[in-house]
Structure 1
Amino acid sequence: MAPAPSATLITVAPTGAEHAKADVPQLPTTLDELVETARTCEAAGAALIHLHIRDGEHRPTLDAGHLRAAVEAIRSETDLIVQLSTGGSVHDPLEQRLTVLDAEPDSCSLTCGTTNFGDDVFLNPWGFMSDLYVQAQEREVVPEFELFELGHVHALRRLLDTHGLPFGGKVHVDFVLGVPGAMPGTAAALLAGVAMLPEEVTSWSATGIGRTHLPVLAAALSAGGHLRVGMEDNIVFARGQQVQHNAELVTRAAELATTMQRPPMSTTEARALLGVKRR
């Protein structure tokens, strides 16, 4: 493992595939809303944006045109690292999830195994993970390995042993804690995962779902990790107070990171940390 970093990579995940626009009208689902969110969150301290895309009816989509338009628009309006979700929604077929890299993002998520996801199952069999990993290597896209379970850490080990290092030579993982049915959003669970990480891992971040948002953020900061925040993972800012804009979550994360003497990382520093190339 690398030494504890002096700055903090803040990722914003603004939309996700779970919340309905009708229930959360402030959720950024249109292209204009996403671009405005990206600009505002970059100014607040984010260096990477993790994107799920919605169609004209605000429903999750993996449509190639929608994905490419979002990547190009955010790349033209900000300096953020653009990461596309290959998870889509839990209902998207595996074959379609593999087409996400056609949009030429800087980075993509790669979930290291199947997990219970509320009342659903988020399917990530070995063959899909392996194919996605090799495609990302070939297309020079940097994967972020999403870990929902301790077993996913072992699956990451298997990917590295089978296919070698990803493009860019860095290995960045993100622990997702607090999903109903997966690892709890506790410091103990996070630290158990960190202790199991392969030596090839160069950096890690964590996100807490829902009410585990702040405990996980604090644990990650104190343990030398980086942060992912956003309305994909949490729509409540404080008791009885719904998040009105993703920038609120980024600003609070940036303030806490700065208080902990690990201020937000610039986009240039983040590219170096992750091994992302300029496109």
Structure 2
Amino acid sequence: MSRLAALPRIMLAPNGARRTRADHPALPETVAQTVAAATAAHQAGAEALHAHVRDSEAHHVLDAGLYRELLAEMARVLPEMPVQITTEAVGRYSPAEQRALVRDVQPEGVSVALREMWPDPGPDAEAQRFYAETEEAGIALQHILYAPDQVTRLASLWAEGLIPAPRQVLFVLGRYAPPTLARPEELDGFLAAASALPEDVQWAACAFGRSEQACLLRAAELGGGMRIGFENNIERPDGSPAEDNAAQVAALVKALRDHASPRGQEV
């Protein structure tokens, strides 16, 4: 069974597909930089890594060889931290290329955006086969959902027997482009729509912009997981530049402790 079958409480997303070191000098681009960022963030409290790989020019790529390199290095340096790869298209990759990556790498976990893998409302035999194959292979698949209507669509596909029961979902709050600051109350719409999903579905949230921490605290209050890192936000809550991914994780862990204590005391 995949170590990611149980959704981690805190998952690190250290780079994403769009930002580079021009945006923040501590953003990892290479495999070595990603492993170093994951190691520091793990020490700060992150339990798993949501990984993107980059080519020699720091462009996001769905490259099976680079992913295998990253997975091997993580297994060597930090074997206790499982890795979820991404199939994010960023306008560059087709659903067929996304499926090919997962079939080639066979990772422990993968994030798949429903709107990218099954973009059209009608039947899609290839997408249907992919979701069934991934379930059969024991790969922990997390459905990435950008709006409550996508949650509703996911629930409909499951109810119609077209995909296996969703086990993990990620609610994306705010937007990268156009820049849209996440709001904690966005969770309400996602969770209302999620009532149509299986009762045991595991959910987490990520949030764009300096409101990231506030949104993740709200997710924790409501029983969800938290995905944090420079993929979504490179600022502290006050809008000043973040130090690095590990510092963001450490600040979230402290805020969770403070939030759990009525007087902000250590617990």
TM normalised by structure 1 equals: 0.79
Aligned twin of 1:203: 202
- 3-state SS of the aligned residue for 1:138? helix
Q: What aligned pairs does 1:243-258 form with structure 2 within 5 A after superposition?
A: 243-258=242-257
Say how many residue pairs are matched: 245
Aligned twin of 2:185: 188
Aligned twin of 2:88: 87
Q: What aligned pairs does 1:160-179 form with structure 2 within 5 A after superposition?
A: 160-161=158-159, 162-165=162-165, 171-179=167-175
Shift of 1:232: 0.4
Tell me whether 1:218 sits opposite 2:214 in the alignment: no
CA offsets 1:92-132 (integer angstroms, 9 cap, x no match): 22221112212222111121225xxxxxxx98446365344
CA offsets 1:221-259 (integer angstroms, 9 cap, x no match): 222211110000001124452223210111112122233
Shift of 1:181: 6.4
Q: Highest Rg: 1 or 2?
A: 2
> Could you tell me how far apart the structure 2 residues matched to 1:129 and 1:249 are?
36
Aligned twin of 1:104: 106
- 3-state SS of the aligned residue for 2:210? helix
> Could you tell me how far apart the structure 2 residues matched to 1:88 and 1:112 are?
11
* Alpha-carbon contact 1:113-1:155 (below 8 Å) kept: no
* Alpha-carbon contact 1:230-1:246 (below 8 Å) kept: yes
TM normalised by structure 2 equals: 0.82
Q: Gaps (5+ residues) in structure 2? A: 1-6, 262-267
Tell me whether 1:15 sits opposite 2:11 in the alignment: no
> Could you tell me how far apart the structure 1 residues matched to 2:178 and 2:156 are?
23
**Amino acid of the structure 2 residue aligned with 1:55:** D
Q: What aligned pairs does 1:1-279 form with structure 2 within 5 A after superposition?
A: 9-78=9-78, 79-101=80-102, 102-113=104-115, 124-125=119-120, 127=124, 129-161=127-159, 162-165=162-165, 171-179=167-175, 180=177, 185-197=182-194, 198-239=197-238, 241-261=240-260
CA offsets 1:133-154 (integer angstroms, 9 cap, x no match): 2231132211111111111111
- Give the share of equivalent positions with the same residue, in percent: 26
- The structure-2 alpha-carbon separation of the partners of 1:190 and 1:199, relative to structure 1 and needing over 3 Å to count, comes to same
Moved more, 86-95 or 59-68: 86-95
The alignment yields a C-alpha RMSD, in angstroms, of: 2.6
* Alpha-carbon contact 1:11-1:48 (below 8 Å) kept: yes
* Alpha-carbon contact 2:181-2:210 (below 8 Å) kept: no
> Could you tell me how far apart the structure 1 residues matched to 2:109 and 2:153 are?
20
**Amino acid of the structure 1 residue aligned with 2:37:** T
**Amino acid of the structure 1 residue aligned with 2:168:** H
* Alpha-carbon contact 1:148-1:183 (below 8 Å) kept: no
> Could you tell me how far apart the structure 2 residues matched to 1:130 and 1:49 are?
27
